Amino acid sequence: MDPTRILLSSLLALGMAGCHKAPPKAPPAPPPAGPPAVDLAKLPPVDGVSLAHTCAGCHGTEGRIKSAAFVSLAGLPAADLVRTMKDFRTGKRPSTLMGHVAKGLSDRDLEALAAYFAKLPKDAGKGGQP
């Protein structure tokens, strides 16, 4: 084959390759929508009594236990219990279990639990302090 013809064929092929446009890229998909915002004011009140049942295994029925190994929650000031639970949640107060428990409770849950336990008569047992 003639070298001129090869050169022209190559140039023509290269030129044609540059003429072909790739299809436009599709716009990126929008990020998935997160859960809708929750208006806490429209939620029903949190039931501290129901939540307190989850505490009974360690802290006794109605927050009363006669063991120095666990804290009796009955009669504790609500603000103290909320602060202690938030300290467990953030790790400011180290714990084996309570940090995990506190992370699973919202601020509303903590306030409801604290209000419930604060209304109960204090235990005369040997429970520790929060």
98: domain CATH number is: 1.10.760.10
Whether residue 71 contacts residue 129, with contact meaning beta carbons closer than 8 Å, is answered with yes
Whether residue 79 contacts residue 114, with contact meaning beta carbons closer than 8 Å, is answered with yes
Residue 40: count of CB within 10 angstroms of its CB: 9
pLDDT in tens, 65-88: 888 888 899 999 999 999 999 999
How many independent structural domains does the chain possess? Answer: 1
What averages of pLDDT result for each successive group of 10 residues across the chain (130 residues)?
68 59 76 76 80 90 88 94 96 93 93 94 57
Whether residue 127 contacts residue 66, with contact meaning beta carbons closer than 8 Å, is answered with yes
Dihedral, CA of residue 120, residue 84, residue 110 and residue 69, to nearest 10: -60
Q: Is residue 35 part of a domain?
A: no
Q: Which structure tokens are listed for 83?
A: 């602060």
pTM, two decimal places: 0.62
Question: Domain range for residue 71?
Answer: 45-121
